[in-house]
Structure 1
């Protein structure tokens, strides 16, 4: 993806997309530009093989969906809800809806039924595409009145629904019923400021809000991304982040259309490691958790490796880190030993580790949440360009990103072309540009509080800007204030804790409390090994286990002040899930929900201790 003359490439990219103002225009233009080039790949469970579509073929698929959707007779601007995993069906109904002037409402395929029912009611969706009738039964059981919903299309309808709902129809029957009633080539007038989606925020603290994004919001963001990170038609994306997330919709779905790249749909997150090796993507769009998991695997292997393997890995990371810093004008010049040793270390160590990503990965973009510096530094040292960026649903979503030739992993890069940033009151990052949302669906008062009359958006994130580079320093609402008056950003601590492979998930609490407590989900294998080591040294019982966990936590957060080190811990082996309502579809902690779930355990910890002088814990879950 790196080009010999990035300035010329960026200029050409801007010129190529300059005349496009809506997403349907973008689709039709791409099909005309490269009709026979591979566009999409997906795993066909029936044949057990990967199947592919060129742009001409996928356009015929979209045309079939368009005819079926047009036969429903919905008015322009009405909403179409999509509750499907990433794949051809999700893409087809999204493009069909956009071409008819309808508004997609993407939802996370594994979100809990209560949240889905709320979104359907709040958006006034007229049609729902759902993966199965069983899933629909779960939603119907919530009891939410959905008077606007006229059609429910089930991709996999195994049985007659117990609800006896006449709106239900099998997907294939729905597609066949339309026949050739509406020519797929018929164009509908769509303006740049028309709605292109209502994307519901993750809702970490309450009910999700519907963010209204226009065609201009999204297309302008695509153009700005392409000027900053010009990919090309030979690139391959592996799509696994949910298409209900604006980060994936813009960067992993619409952007590949703009550049004519191929998108392969991963089978599942569980099979991601296999799919990376089989698909061999060149570009990866991901949240930090995926990089953290691979980092944990590497660090675990280091811990059990023989002395020679450990020395080689440490040497690779050290020299690779110096190479990265030297390439970006930071640090000292490389020594003669570094220059001689690197080709061998790259072949023996770095290339083998990066083979986990398929071996062709040029750029890996990390967004959606902060990524710990040790994690990103490891991959940069191995030679993988991990580019941290910043954005939010309300900004379509990308505001800033590092680039391969200008990468400072301590920051989230510089603002994209056409986007203004400044620091407001309380060090809040403010954003203005054509990518800023129209507002919140049916929430004018909240829109007015978030977006000022002159277009400046309140992000809610604290930041600083140095020489154009943006560094996010915390979340205004998430700052914990202990009873001793110390202010702490829990997300930073949680990110640091997760660099230890023993921990799968973590949350830090302590608002109005005398000290911090960590609630963690442990890696089952790692915890079994840890318990065996404790037993070998004659250390048994809850208190010994708690002390051991707190030592791990203290090492992970050693860069923070002593008052920011958790003094108590509660642990479990049961992962927090979206279905339980404990994390968002983008894997962020739902802090109030987790605190409610562990309320008794939290109260027991603080009731047990009047000071933070000794490690504390309660019996693990």
Structure 2
């Protein structure tokens, strides 16, 4: 593997300097692959070609009269254009404010106003039509640029709206790079708070570049690697791990077409590195399990044997298990079972990074047993974001790994995980009070997560300080652990445990429509009648299924009542954040009357 081209933070103190250095080293290497709907093919772009395009965009930005320090927004799907815009802005000293493409118009309007955003780039008519619903009209924004064309029949009423083709028409320019000011503000990333308005995390050039470099030191990544980018670039894990890190190492990046087409893209692109969140691995795991349920018993036993032997092989390779004669079966089991699963992921994946939320040990065990080297990590937007990660040769999958080089981690009061490093944010945008609460006088960032550390230095998240349910009898329950366990049953698409100050726990659950159809048939009830979800026999059956998933939890942590629905919780209805985290207070409010009625009835 070619690794000699890795750039250090000293060689590239700013985001635009990082691009300039990569351009100098490998100008004609392929930087990005993107699917073109017109030609129905994957198009390659070199670093030299990217530089020309960035220069054009910089000319257009200068035409708008923007000054260093002005905030500019990007609301694009993962694409070359996202990177071009970010690099063009960074080179001119502008501050990028990333937005989720499916965020609610009122939230986008609030972020635009709070940041004082002056320009916004959107994918096309879908975004700007939705933004037109914003009640305040986005007064700070002077220009909205649409990547997609704007047809006359669209009848856009906003004079600020211009297509990218018109915006760039006739322009060209030399690439502009800012090589100084690493400690200056580079971006404001709004955290998808589960309560209240999001906070704007201020990250400097140094914050991000140091984190990308430190992450690259944890596993070998080089110019021969191919990343498949599908986690939104507005998420710091993808921006650092799937954009900055490949630029730093010279790896190429392919932009996935969509999550729906991910399976096809994996087999076409055949990535060597994947950066993702647990939900993707859980979906693949669920499909594998659903497929096995339809297979003869002998095939199910063969799969389970492959995972069992593969897991022992993994533990043996990590030095935690001795050699066993069953390992002699691995070449056969690999050919018959494991290699076929890996082929679905492209067949040449060296490792898959998982972060953003905990990955259940069962899912991790299956993938590792099948030879997919899943490396779980942990981070916060406020830390740019990676704090800890497992290494390929030191992988304890139930842990969040070891700290990155140069990143300090320790326990504070109430076993809270604290971190200090060059990657810790500058603070929250125009919110000094929140900044003081998050970063103490000694520079330690308070995570809000409870943790422990083992003798080998591996860290484990044990709970969330503010998300502990205290029952009326004083028993404390970590709802996230239970929710993660329950979601392992494909019947439960979404689930939230409730019971703060109550005598027992209950659950709110969104059911998977297909799984519910099957269960309803078993119970002899009409699956298309929402009223049956409230019937005692149905609730009892659902509780039985749910109970199987949490049988290892203490007796006081058992769920006694359940409210089921088929209507998913979404970003649009305000029940999920753009990073798909539950807004617990909003969900409690939505189901408030039913929850009160349930607890008045008590245990049935």
Question: Conserved in 2, the CA contact under 8 Å of 1:428 and 1:463?
Answer: yes
- Counterparts of 1:190 and 1:28 in 2: how far apart (Å)? 13
2: CA distance, partners of 1:534 / 1:325: 43
Residue 267 of structure 2 is aligned to residue 267 of structure 1: no
> When the two structures are aligned, how many residues end up with a matched partner?
595
Matched residues in 2 for 1:76 and 1:47: separation? Answer: 38
Query: Any residues of structure 2 matched to 1:529-568 within 5 Å, and which?
Result: 529-535=518-524, 542-568=535-561
In structure 1, what is the Cα distance between the partners aligned to 2:505 and 2:146? 47
Q: Distance in 1 between matches of 2:428 and 2:323?
A: 52
**Which residue in 1 is equivalent to 2:391?**
403
Residue of structure 2 equivalent to 1:478: 467
Distance of aligned partners of 1:401 and 1:187 in 2 relative to their CA distance in 1, 3 Å threshold? closer
1:394-426 deviation per Cα after TM superposition (whole angstroms, max 9, x unaligned): 000000000110000111001001111110001
Residue 302 of structure 1 and its aligned partner are, at CA, apart by 2.5
Partner of 2:337: 349
Question: For residues 505-524 of structure 1, what are the structure 2 equivalents within 5 Å?
Answer: 505-524=494-513
Give yes or no for the alignment of 1:582 onto 2:575.
yes
Distance across 1 between alignment mates of 2:374 and 2:454: 21
1:450 maps to what in 2? 438
Instruction: Name the residue aligned to 1:249.
Output: 239
Deviation at 1:56, TM superposition (A): 1.3
Match of 2:14 among 22, 47, 50: 22
Structure 2 counterpart of 1:235 = 225
In the other structure, the counterpart of 1:324 is 314
Cα distance in 2 for partners of 1:563, 1:598 equals 23
CA distance in 2 between partners of 1:410 and 1:530 (Å): 32
Which of the numbers 19, 30, 34 marks the counterpart of 1:38?
30
8 Å Cα contact 1:133-1:159 kept in structure 2: no
1:17/1:258 contact within 8 Å kept:
no
Q: Which residue of 2 aligns with 1:618?
A: none
**Counterpart residue number, 2:593:** 600
Out of 259, 266, 274, the position equivalent to 1:276 is 266
1:447–1:44 CA distance, 2 compared to 1 (3 A): same
CA contact (8 A) 1:41 1:50 kept: yes
CA contact (8 A) 1:137 1:161 kept: no
Cα distance per residue 1:134-155 (max 9 Å; x no partner): 5324324322264431111122
Structure 1 residue aligned with 2:73, among 68, 77, 81?
Answer: 81
Q: Secondary structure at the match of 1:228?
A: coil
User: Deviations for 1:566-618, whole angstroms, at most 9, x for unmatched residues?
Assistant: 22222222322222222222222121122222223322322222x3xx4xxxx
TM-score (norm 1): 0.92
Match of 1:310 in 2: 300
4+ runs of 1 displaced by more than 4 Å? 12-17, 159-163
1:178-197 correspondence to structure 2 within 5 Å: 179-180=171-172, 183-188=173-178, 190-197=180-187
Contact 2:303 2:337 in 1 (8 A): yes
Quick check: 1:169 aligned with 2:158? no
Q: Deviations 1:306-364 (Å, cap 9, x if unpaired)? A: 11101101111111111112222224x2321x122111111111111222212111111
- What does residue range 332-481 of structure 1 map to in structure 2 within 5 Å? 333-336=322-325, 338-467=326-455, 468-481=457-470
Contact 2:106 2:135 (C-alpha < 8 Å) held by counterparts:
no
Aligned CA RMSD, in angstroms, stands at 1.9
For structure 2, the 5+ residue unaligned runs are 526-531
What does residue 100 of structure 2 align with? 108
Supply the distance in 2 between the matched residues of 1:527 and 1:141 (Cα, whole angstroms): 36
* Equivalent residue runs for 1:21-170 within 5 Å: 21-144=13-136, 146-156=138-148, 157-159=150-152, 164-170=157-163
- How far apart are 1:16 and its partner, in Å? 4.9
Matched, 1:210 2:203: no
